[in-house]
Structure 1
Amino acid sequence: MNKRHVLLLLLPFLTTMVSAQKSAPPKQKNIIFILADDHRYDAMGFMKKNDWAETPNLDRLAREGKHLKNAFVSTALCSPSRASILTGQYAHKHTVVDNTAPEPTIIEYFPQLLQKANYQTAFFGKWHMGNDDDHPRKGFHHWEGLKGQGEYYNPSLNIDGQRIQFKDSTYVADLLTDHAIDWLNKRSKDKPFFVYLSHKGVHAPFQPAKRHNDRYKNKPVPLPPSYSLTATDEYKKHNIPEWVKEQRHSWHGVDYMYHGQIDFDTFYRKYFETLLSVDESVGKVMDYLKANGLEENTMVIYMGDNGFSFGEHGLIDKRHAYEESMRVPLLIKYPAFVAAGSSTDAMVQNVDIAPTLLELAGIPVPKAMQGKSFLEVLKGNATQHKDQIFYEYYWEYAFPQTPTMFSVRTEQYKYIHYYGLWTQNELYDLKKDPNEMNNLIADPEYRELSKQLSTQLFDWLETTGGMQIPLKRNDVPKFDNKNSKQY
């Protein structure tokens, strides 16, 4: 038998071997989770929210990975959402319901489970649970945390227990990204890694990097269809709650935003200028992985901790249950099984992140986690993840304009229930009314649907332990704004 015949006989076997090597999952399933602050779902270049915003690296991440178009948070507030990401639990379960109270010591974060499974873990950036407390948290071998909200320029970092002040116009997004890459260079190469890169951007007051300042000066600012809805008594025709109209003239409203500290157009442009440094950070991380042969076996996840309003219903900021507040960007790249340039309409939430990453790492998901892994959605094996998603927000002492609310959202409808407030609830047909301008709650045609969704909402609260509102101590007692002692 000559060599040609031997090769012909071996060819099917060799082809099978090569195919198996390509399809075999990588031994090290590394994870980089990049979290942005207050990044709304459509504030990315490829989403075409306006004609001039640029996010070339997020656009690249979408092209090379999967865009989860219907990603939501269970609470549109920094600390509760971050706790839900880390625990896989709703706010009423982990009890982090505001931005000031410290997180309970008994809750378990999924990085702790990664540690037990031999992962090297590192945290860089904004923790924002426990207010100004920046001490190293459990679950991370290496820690670099900002104090409270942190600073855009010349930030202070608690690095493994030692607070270090940076100067010389150090910009926070650049600093955190460089330190994360430096840690990756120094890590043990024989263990998988998990990096949590948590940006301050794009939290108000917005401060872009100097190289990006005024990039969008004089650019036209689009206004959403519902911007003027609450400006006159027109809102009554649409059955919009009174508290929404009243908030228009408050700290979180377009007519007195941050008590008159900034005008709307400047506010809008500075948001997108500040976002540019976060986008550059994503690009640096992706370039590093590619240059160091880590691209194939590292899952890169980019997500916002909550959305943000730009004039919808006359509001700014977040907290409420409208789409722009509770919906976030979610982009995931993992060449091992995530198809490049793919997208999905499946609804997922922040509580689903922890179970998904644990399943990827081959770690059993604890029963205490209330989220559900969407790994099959990432693989393209499922088109649906959940029939409905649930939302909760608890009244805050510091921002009393926004009431406690609960919501259930399906693919077509959203029902919002207000608690402790003399006002109407809300029901929207999201397919016919994506801007949530026509409240159907009083329409007899939708009465049964409202009852059904209300029942489902309270069934969810009851079965998940949410029928009691977690109370937290106030930082400042009533009628005594000079005294910071807790009562």
Structure 2
Amino acid sequence: ILIMTDQQRIDTIRGWDQPHMVTPAHDRLVAEGVSFRQAYCPGATCVASRAAVFTGMYPHNTGVYSFQPWGRHRNWVQDLAESGYWCASIGKMHFMPRDIPGGFHERVVVENPTGMSLAGGGADDDWGRYMTFHGVERPNDRHLTDPDWWTKLQGVPWHEEERFHSDVFIGNSALNWIRSHRGDKPFFLQIGFTGPHEPWDPLPRHLSLYDDIEIPMPVTREDELADKPPQHEALKKMFSTAGHESGINMYLANDERIDRMRRHYYAKVTTVDEKMGEILDALEERGYLDNALVIFCSDHGENLGDHALAYKWLMYDTITHIPLIIRYPDRRRRGDRLSDLVSLMDLGPTILEAAGVPVPTYLEGRSLLPYADPDASVTPRDYVFCEDNYQIMMRSPVHKMVYYIGQQEGELYDLEADPGELWNRWDD
């Protein structure tokens, strides 16, 4: 069972010493599983990371960095299906094209909660059709109708009935599947939440939980971007003038607006967490947890004001360093926190090995099953990698280098002296 969120930062789990968070379901997994505290994504965007995870190949081998079609590549879900597993996907996958089976026998398709309206050329999905069936308009193009949109920095509480929220819809769809599933085949269930991807639109009752909590402010310094490659400032400018609902103008940010933005983001994590808790309870009620490998992760992180930026596309740890927790079936190892470097590329080999399915030799990750044994000796990686179409990150436990293809500029950080990646040492 793979539960993957979208754009979730590493500092969003209360059980990982983050007292500003309200995350009882995450905390349950921390207590019952193994926390990989140094896990990294292979791509700095949704599609790039997910395509790499499911094909088992880095972006430079698939050519998938953004919205390129990746259905033409084989993925390890097909290996599971061909070996007798019933494979179901509920929620976000980011297949391109979006409606392909991709090895799954059944899918509930939900993509980004932002984007163009149908009238403006946007694509529909099962969540949108559910809303349409009930006479509710899918929330798109709000930047055109809300005069305060740009000062809210994507912090917009959910305004319809709770059941129409994309993450509630995904969670309820997963619950329906778990409670109604019949069959004697082993199964692989992928649950892809769209949150906490922008817009940061938590349920209002979850937002209220953060009213009296002190929220950490961003890590940045004055004129920080002047010492960084030009893409950093360019991304900030691009989204400040974006002609779509995902636009965000960080030039309008001040402490009050950033505090508000962050409360909405963290509260959206809590909206997802509530559904995760219900899913874990339902799995336990059906007896599935006794013989299930449960993996929780996110596809990448979010700047959320760190480095005076929002969103992704860069190689800061705020983006590439992601939460990963594995609850092993025998639960010989519970509550441990590991500091070995691991990658989301390891998920495919881990799941295939757990299922008893041969791991194809072309997969570029390595199984994390050995970590289930507390007495096993596992040789850790020396480096992890993350890619975009113009940059490549190479990270060790103590240093990070980001190479910009065809440019003299780059990034180099001493992570022991500068864990916030504020001081670029590339030209030092």
TM-score of the alignment, normalized to the shorter chain, above 0.5: yes
Q: Report if aligned partners of 2:14, 2:23 keep a CA contact under 8 Å in 1.
A: yes
What is the CA deviation profile of residues 310-362 of structure 1, one whole-angstrom value per residue up to 9, with x for unaligned ones?
22222111111111110110011124155111121111111111111001111
Which residue of structure 1 lines up, in the alignment, with residue 109 of structure 2? 145
Q: Report if aligned partners of 2:312, 2:319 keep a CA contact under 8 Å in 1.
A: yes
For 1:257 and 1:124, locate their aligned partners in 2 and report how far apart those are by CA, in whole Å: 27
Which residue of structure 2 lines up, in the alignment, with residue 77 of structure 1? 45
Give the match's secondary structure for 1:416: strand
Write the mapping of 1:296-307 to structure 2, written as runs, cut at 5 A: 296-307=290-301
What is the CA deviation profile of residues 90-115 of structure 1, one whole-angstrom value per residue up to 9, with x for unaligned ones?
011122111x332242x112111111
What is the CA deviation profile of residues 44-75 of structure 1, one whole-angstrom value per residue up to 9, with x for unaligned ones?
112344x4321111011101111000110111
Please list every run of 5 or more consecutive structure 1 residues that lacks an aligned counterpart in the other structure. 1-31, 395-403, 444-487
Which residue of structure 2 lines up, in the alignment, with residue 108 of structure 1? 74
Matched AA of 2:108: E
Q: Is 1:419–2:409 an aligned residue pair?
A: no
Q: Is 1:124–2:90 an aligned residue pair?
A: yes
The structural deviation recorded for 1:393 is 1.0
Q: Describe the shift of the 1:156–1:150 C-alpha distance in structure 2 as closer, same or farther (beyond 3 A).
A: farther
Which residue of structure 2 lines up, in the alignment, with residue 17 of structure 1? none
Q: Could you tell me the TM-score, scaled by structure 1's length?
A: 0.72
Q: Describe the shift of the 1:437–1:95 C-alpha distance in structure 2 as closer, same or farther (beyond 3 A).
A: same
The structural deviation recorded for 1:141 is 1.2
The structural deviation recorded for 1:218 is 6.6
For 2:234 and 2:70, locate their aligned partners in 1 and report how far apart those are by CA, in whole Å: 32
The match for 1:439 among 412, 424, 427 is: 424
Q: Report if aligned partners of 1:245, 1:314 keep a CA contact under 8 Å in 2.
A: no
Give the match's secondary structure for 2:264: helix
Matched AA of 1:349: S
Matched AA of 1:101: Q
Which residue of structure 1 lines up, in the alignment, with residue 199 of structure 2? 205
For 2:69 and 2:230, locate their aligned partners in 1 and report how far apart those are by CA, in whole Å: 33
Q: Give the number of aligned pairs.
A: 384
Write the mapping of 1:5-404 to structure 2, written as runs, cut at 5 A: 32-49=1-18, 51-98=19-66, 100-105=67-72, 107-130=73-96, 133-149=97-113, 157-158=125-126, 164=130, 165=132, 167=134, 169=161, 170-217=164-211, 219-225=213-219, 227-230=220-223, 239-245=227-233, 247-248=235-236, 250-251=238-239, 258-259=248-249, 263-380=257-374, 381-394=376-389, 404=390
Give the match's secondary structure for 1:356: helix
For 1:373 and 1:301, locate their aligned partners in 2 and report how far apart those are by CA, in whole Å: 13
Give the match's secondary structure for 2:88: strand
For 1:213 and 1:333, locate their aligned partners in 2 and report how far apart those are by CA, in whole Å: 29
For 1:94 and 1:249, locate their aligned partners in 2 and report how far apart those are by CA, in whole Å: 29
Matched AA of 2:397: E
Q: Report if aligned partners of 1:128, 1:149 keep a CA contact under 8 Å in 2.
A: no
Q: Over the residues paired in the alignment, what is the CA RMSD in angstroms?
A: 2.7
Matched AA of 1:392: E
For 2:403 and 2:81, locate their aligned partners in 1 and report how far apart those are by CA, in whole Å: 40
Q: Report if aligned partners of 1:353, 1:373 keep a CA contact under 8 Å in 2.
A: yes
**Larger RCO (alpha carbons 8 Å, 6+ apart):** 2
Give the match's secondary structure for 2:108: strand
For 2:4 and 2:25, locate their aligned partners in 1 and report how far apart those are by CA, in whole Å: 15
For 2:354 and 2:79, locate their aligned partners in 1 and report how far apart those are by CA, in whole Å: 12
Q: Report if aligned partners of 1:228, 1:313 keep a CA contact under 8 Å in 2.
A: yes
Matched AA of 1:79: V
The structural deviation recorded for 1:369 is 1.3
Matched AA of 1:432: A
For 2:85 and 2:201, locate their aligned partners in 1 and report how far apart those are by CA, in whole Å: 35
Q: Report if aligned partners of 1:71, 1:329 keep a CA contact under 8 Å in 2.
A: yes
Give the match's secondary structure for 2:339: strand
Matched AA of 2:65: V
For 2:238 and 2:11, locate their aligned partners in 1 and report how far apart those are by CA, in whole Å: 25
For 2:385 and 2:177, locate their aligned partners in 1 and report how far apart those are by CA, in whole Å: 37
Q: Report if aligned partners of 1:66, 1:332 keep a CA contact under 8 Å in 2.
A: yes
For 2:186 and 2:193, locate their aligned partners in 1 and report how far apart those are by CA, in whole Å: 23
Give the match's secondary structure for 2:340: strand
Matched AA of 2:385: F
User: If you compute each CA radius of gyration, which structure gives the higher value, 1 or 2?
Assistant: 1
Q: Report if aligned partners of 1:257, 1:316 keep a CA contact under 8 Å in 2.
A: no
Q: Could you tell me the TM-score, scaled by structure 2's length?
A: 0.82
Please list every run of 5 or more consecutive structure 2 residues that lacks an aligned counterpart in the other structure. 116-122, 137-160
Q: Report if aligned partners of 2:90, 2:109 keep a CA contact under 8 Å in 1.
A: yes
For 1:156 and 1:187, locate their aligned partners in 2 and report how far apart those are by CA, in whole Å: 26
For 1:252 and 1:42, locate their aligned partners in 2 and report how far apart those are by CA, in whole Å: 25
Q: Report if aligned partners of 2:295, 2:327 keep a CA contact under 8 Å in 1.
A: yes
- Percent of pairs identical after alignment? 29
The structural deviation recorded for 1:294 is 2.1
Q: Report if aligned partners of 2:392, 2:404 keep a CA contact under 8 Å in 1.
A: yes
For 1:257 and 1:121, locate their aligned partners in 2 and report how far apart those are by CA, in whole Å: 36
Give the match's secondary structure for 1:197: strand
Give the match's secondary structure for 1:266: helix
Matched AA of 1:357: I
Q: Report if aligned partners of 1:244, 1:313 keep a CA contact under 8 Å in 2.
A: no
What is the CA deviation profile of residues 121-177 of structure 1, one whole-angstrom value per residue up to 9, with x for unaligned ones?
1111112233xx5424221111110255469xxx96449xx9544536322222222
Give the match's secondary structure for 1:40: coil
